[in-house]
Amino acid sequence: MPTRTLGRHGPTVSALGLGCMGMSHGYDPPKDRGAMLALLRHAVDLGVTFFDTAEMYGPFTNEELVGEGLAPVRDRVVIATKFGFRLGADGLRPDGVDSRPAHIRAVCEASLRRLRTDRIDLFYQHRVDPSVPIEEVAGTVGELIAEGKVGCFGLSEAGVATIRRAHAVTPVAALQSEYSIWWREPEREVLPLLEELEIGLVPYSPLGRGFLTGQMDTTAEFARSDFRSKLPRFSLANRQANQVVVDLLARVAASHGATPAQVALAWLLARRPWIVPIPGTTKPHRLEENLGALALDLSPRDIAELDAASAAIEVAGARYSEELGRLTGL
């Protein structure tokens, strides 16, 4: 398994990680716990060493799953989790952000228990809290690093000014942000800053929440409990309009005997040597397919074609609805 280092201050991990959210949160129907534990262990057997979770995935159940699944191999893996949301009155979904220092510490202690560990390897601020200066957030995580409870500090979906201010207080090891061939916004300002400051990038949804795999029928319907049912980009009309992105990936894939998912991941890996995508899956054969991207060597011509063609495509639909944007700080 090839490895990559997340910037100057981050850990060395497998070149592809595993996003664990969908194992217990966000997508319908709920997944069998025993099967998901087996999938986590299968990932380790295949060489994956980087696992991503968060307290809000569930809430809480995903950290518990990851903690149980990785406890026997804890010394062989890097676990990332997140703080920064507050729960609503129902205790089931976020109702805004909260990065007050006391809250960060409380989340850290609870996450350590659920993850069955004495150290969180990478602790992200899940979303920026505009009511708390980022210097206070960075300082608090810096204290947790000094206490040995956290390995390194990360941000998620933060802008360039926030990243600079945080990094000046406590070095930022990695930024987690949505980034894929159908969401290239980070290339404008974020990637150049990360290169300058030597911060790693961890793209989430590198396969467009499943759309870029080419396995999603454009007429598919999502259950109300499926996160994608609330995303404008996944309306029927927008999926039909965006099929052109999948067709582009499929054309390149056909010339390599690969799949659209493998091309999408290989394209990301070719962007920078400090990018570590974290595609999620709940199926062993999809995990194996994703890891196959590591053996796919796209030529400069392939990459140039993908770059030019994808840049010319106007993707239909916003990433988040107005309500979800309010709740998640986007």
Q: By C-alpha distance, which of 282, 290, 271, 276 is closest to 122?
A: 276
Contacts of 284-290 spanning 24+ positions with Cβ under 8 A: 284/38, 284/39, 284/42, 286/213, 286/261, 287/18, 287/39, 287/42, 287/43, 287/46, 288/46, 289/259, 289/261, 289/262, 290/16, 290/207, 290/261, 290/262, 290/265
Q: 220 pLDDT band (50/70/90 cuts)?
A: confident
> Which residues are designated catalytic?
57
Distance CA 252, CA 248 (A): 7
The whole-number pLDDT of residue 224 equals 81
The whole-number pLDDT of residue 326 equals 63
CATH number assigned to the domain comprising residue 71: 3.20.20.100
Place of tokens 């039909």: 240
Domain housing 316: 3-328
Residue 26 predicted with pLDDT over 90:
no
For residues 152-156, average pLDDT: 98
For residues 45-51, average pLDDT: 98
Q: Which residues pair with 153 in a beta bridge?
A: 123, 172
Among 239-253, 274-288, 311-325, name the one with the lowest average pLDDT: 311-325
Q: 325 pLDDT band (50/70/90 cuts)?
A: low
The whole-number pLDDT of residue 14 equals 98
Cβ-based neighbours of 16, under 8 Å, separated by 6 or more:
48, 50, 265, 269, 276, 277, 278, 279, 290, 291, 293, 294
The pTM (predicted TM-score) of the whole model is: 0.96
Q: What is the pLDDT of residues 80-132, one digit of tens each?
A: 999 999 988 888 788 899 999 999 999 999 999 999 999 999 999 999 999 99
210 to each of 118, 227, 271, how far by Cα in Å? 34, 12, 21
Q: 263 pLDDT band (50/70/90 cuts)?
A: very high
Q: With residue 195 as reference, give the H or E element that holds it.
A: helix 190-197
For residues 202-228, average pLDDT: 89
Q: How many domains does one find in the chain?
A: 1
Residue 146 predicted with pLDDT over 90:
yes
Residue 21 predicted with pLDDT over 60:
yes
Q: What is the pLDDT of residues 164-206, one digit of tens each?
A: 999 999 999 999 999 999 999 999 999 999 999 999 999 999 9
